[in-house]
């Protein structure tokens, strides 16, 4: 695995980093990591980026989003996936954080998972990208590619998370999600992956891969 990750790391500079990663790197703000990750669910990166920009212009911090009108939030984040549901969830989540946690995004996964709309992917991303804590964030790209490589053999992202926690050395946890998401968006795509351009093709058994380029 170290040699595979090194090759991806070398190629990463030529790919577009996931938008939530860019927000995390430029702000170091757990609130913005949390909110942008929720917006990114079932949403393309370009849409997430613009919606995040509008949302943070409307509500630059937790306190302002906790006081926001859900209708204004809904307008700001349109057209992200499930924007009608996400808008009131974001407002209620921030209200809970202000009232129950002193306005600070919790830095433990069990508490984060109590918020409606926050799943394990989002909670783990807040820990690793918002707080720099070791966490294993698994989205569809990480789940899919880890199985294509045969590094794990799992059926769900949650199973993949647990398998990676047990197998992948902790020093790689932080970068694993960023590398594989960028790799999955640009080269190892779900449909017709670009195997001819893959920097790790020689190490890949291509398990479950059908048509490729």
**How far is 177 from 61, CA to CA, in rounded Å?**
26
| DSSP code per residue over 127-194 | IIIIS--------HHHHHHHHHTTS---SSHHHHHHHHHHHS-GGGHHHHHHHHHHHHHHTS-SSS--
Q: pLDDT by residue for the chain (213 residues), tens digit each?
A: 899 999 999 999 888 888 999 999 999 899 999 999 999 999 999 999 999 999 999 999 999 999 999 999 999 999 999 999 999 999 999 999 999 999 999 999 999 999 999 999 999 999 999 999 999 999 999 999 999 999 999 999 999 999 999 999 999 998 999 999 999 999 999 999 999 999 999 999 999 998 888
pTM of the prediction? 0.90
Domains with residue ranges and CATH for the chain: 2-15+136-203 (1.10.1670.10), 19-130 (1.10.340.30)
Could you tell me if 185 and 16 are in contact, meaning their C-beta atoms sit under 8 angstroms apart? yes
């Amino acid at each position: 695995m170290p040699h595979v990750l090194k090759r991806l790391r070398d190629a990463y500079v030529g790919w577009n980093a996931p938008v939530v990663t860019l927000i995390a790197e430029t702000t170091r703000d757990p609130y913005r990591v949390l909110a942008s990750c929720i917006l990114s669910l079932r949403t393309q990166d370009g849409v997430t980026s613009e919606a995040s920009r509008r949302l943070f212009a409307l509500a630059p911090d937790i306190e302002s989003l906790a006081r926001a009108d859900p209708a204004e939030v809904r307008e700001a984040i349109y057209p992200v996936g499930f924007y009608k549901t996400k808008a009131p969830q974001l407002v209620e989540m921030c209200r809970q954080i202000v009232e129950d946690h002193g306005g600070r995004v919790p830095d433990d996964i069990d508490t984060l998972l109590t918020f409606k709309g926050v799943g394990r992917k989002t909670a783990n991303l807040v820990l690793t990208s918002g707080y720099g804590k070791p966490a294993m964030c698994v989205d569809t790209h990480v789940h899919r590619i880890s199985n294509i490589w045969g590094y794990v053999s799992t059926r769900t992202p949650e199973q993949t998370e647990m398998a990676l926690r047990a197998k992948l050395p902790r020093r790689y946890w932080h970068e694993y999600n960023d590398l594989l998401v960028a790799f999955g968006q640009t080269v190892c795509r779900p449909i017709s992956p670009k195997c001819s351009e893959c920097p790790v093709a020689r190490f890949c058994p291509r398990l479950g891969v059908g048509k490729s380029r």
